[in-house]
A and B are shown apart, each in its own frame.
Chain A
Amino acid sequence: MDALFNQLVAGLSLGSVLLLAALGLSLTFGQMGVINMAHGEFMMAGAYTAFMVQGLIADAGIALLLAIPLGFLIGGLMGLILEITLIHRMYHRPLDTLLVTWGVALILQQAARDIFGAPNVDVRAPAWLSGSINIGVVAVPSARMFILVLAVAAVVGLSLLLKTTSLGRRIRGVVQNRDLAETVGISTRSTDRLTFFIGSGLAGIAGVAVTLLGSTGPTLGTNYIVDAFLVVVAGGIGQIKGAVIAAFGLGLLQATFEYSTTASIAKVTVFVVVVVFLQIRPQGIFTVRTRSLA
């Protein structure tokens, strides 16, 4: 019974990590249709931000909390620069975007190697995040609890932004019908830029969060990018709630399979499940019905 609860926690926790990594992508890929292979490198930038902040502020706890908004800003700004210089030139050429952003990802990885050195760096977890919290019979590692809370906060924040603010309405308007949005006076250019900024910023936050779990190195992003795309594709293009369900679903699946088999088999099984699912439902769990004619 303990094992069951432990695995439930492991699955939810893995889901929250996947969700954080995929949330920004569900905006830029899901809503804007940009295949951004450098999304993982924005995570890496967030992770190195956490490392840098820790170098400046001795208290690991304050440094971490400060790194979250800073990671958002750094990731967002890098995304903004990428959007302005490259991506906006190829909104209708998804294949080119894929190659270009992959190139950018390689350049960013090498840049990180040149700036911070090839070896991994250590981001210390604050004292209040090492160890675990006991909930009933299950001991939940505090760091994982923190990431779960952070992921939920990010989802709630993003949903509120999309549903209640005028920026959110503009974003949804542009996604549903770009031409019509333009005719009613929405600047699609600035909306695109802002959406990309937010999506990339979320990657930065994810990067800060995963320093609590794994290594901080130049290739950090590559560990997450495939899973993040998997979540967005399975969840359905253009839907936050799809990403949420897909992330937790895949997390629980992976944890369950991994407990009964091995990590490698679990990974393969999850891929197979997603492929089969997409055969039955190519549009993912949810889909946006747009009013555009195209």
Chain B
Amino acid sequence: MSAQQNLANKHLTDEQTKDIDENIEWAKINADVLRSMENPRRGYWVAMAISVALFSVMIYAEVHQYIYGMGDAGLNTSHMWDLYISTFVFWIGMSHSGTLLSAILHLVHADWRKPIYRFAEAMTTFSLLTAGIFPVIHLGRVWNFYWVMPYVSDRGLWPNFRSPLIWDAFAITAYLTSSVLFLYIGMIPDLAICRDNAKGWRKKLYTWLSLGWRGDDAQWRNFRFTYLMIACLLIPLAVSVHSIVSMDFSMSIMPGWHVTTFPPYFVAGALYSGCAAIITLFILLRYFFKFEHFMTMPILDKVCKLTFVIAMVWTYLNLVEFASVWYGHDIPSKEVLLAKASGPYSPFFWGMMIFGSVLPFALLSKWVRRNMYVLFFVSVFLNVGMWLERWMIVTPTLSLGYHPQAFNVMWPGWVEWAMVGGSFGWFGMLFLVFVKVFPSVSMYEVKEMVYHRKRTVYEDVDEMMNLHSGVPGPVPGSPPTPAPQSTGGA
């Protein structure tokens, strides 16, 4: 890269203040995003190889577990869940950020979400697909997993509707279905652009997927309405899913699990880990796909601030939980709390507190928010903290419980670690396939954002600002530049 280009790109990193370059050409948006879907480089294949390798280890572990039973996972009579369920909760949590970015911020008209919501939503879908593995593979008789579904059987057998695990099955299925729909419907105009520029098997695929999108007025109307409706449906679903997952614990009678504040605490933790994961993937995509024009530093800055706020909410709910246990003076619960902080698992507990509650204060520094290398590691460690949090919810309670005879400390066996690692491999595989087959930046919404930024949204605000500063603003009533006929299918 020449010095001149360096100088030209300088504004993209340090001094850029606007969320997006308002003079970006629409053809360039299309070209940049379509380019990212072609010609995978060596780094892509390395990442894919690592993901496939991790996933293969998981398959091997699952086959082993299928043949020999659950014993080699290191489980024992008091530790029946351990990493299976804590990793399940972790992945369910990861799935919440996509909904936050795409649905909640859509409803509140935060338009800076537009360049980055697509991959966040893909993350939602894929982490749900990853999370859904765990309740299945943790079963002792995995071949009977479909018995939790209320299918009509000639024996008149139904699942037990009082069990939170059944609620889990319903909630996750509903959430997965609607998040896949949301991801797909939001992608239709972009798929039409892909269709118009594709050849070979891609042409067939996109033609089929874009459902004959032409970008005419009626289609846009229906599209907007459908998209808004699914967004409205998705928000209560997202909240209910993680509340229900938290009920796996809070509906039980075990000390440390039977906590009334678990549902909001879990939802906050879910948004938190999801936002941290968005920062990680943001940086990776920006770096590898050269999305500097769309995934800009001011947007990253906003995501960091959002993450910090959610981190503080999570910290508050965490401390509230500790305080209610401490002052509630229920002896077994208090013992579990003390054991978390001082027992054999205490390094992980304090790791969770440091990564989850102290590390986010780094996001207050503008230097950290603008430094991608530092931010990458910060976001990864935030998620390490959140994974530890889930482990520290599940395991210390099982290691103590009520009955002193059953107190014991266990460390996960190799099968469990293989499953945890393999889940990351499976998620990575899905995500890597996604970024090469589907546009990971929403082209039509970036165009919308540019158009609105340039023409409507800030005109009056600018005028006000200029009035205050005494600088004459743009002439009111100046004609807007002509917009193209349609943003999709062009």
Do A and B pair up? The answer is no
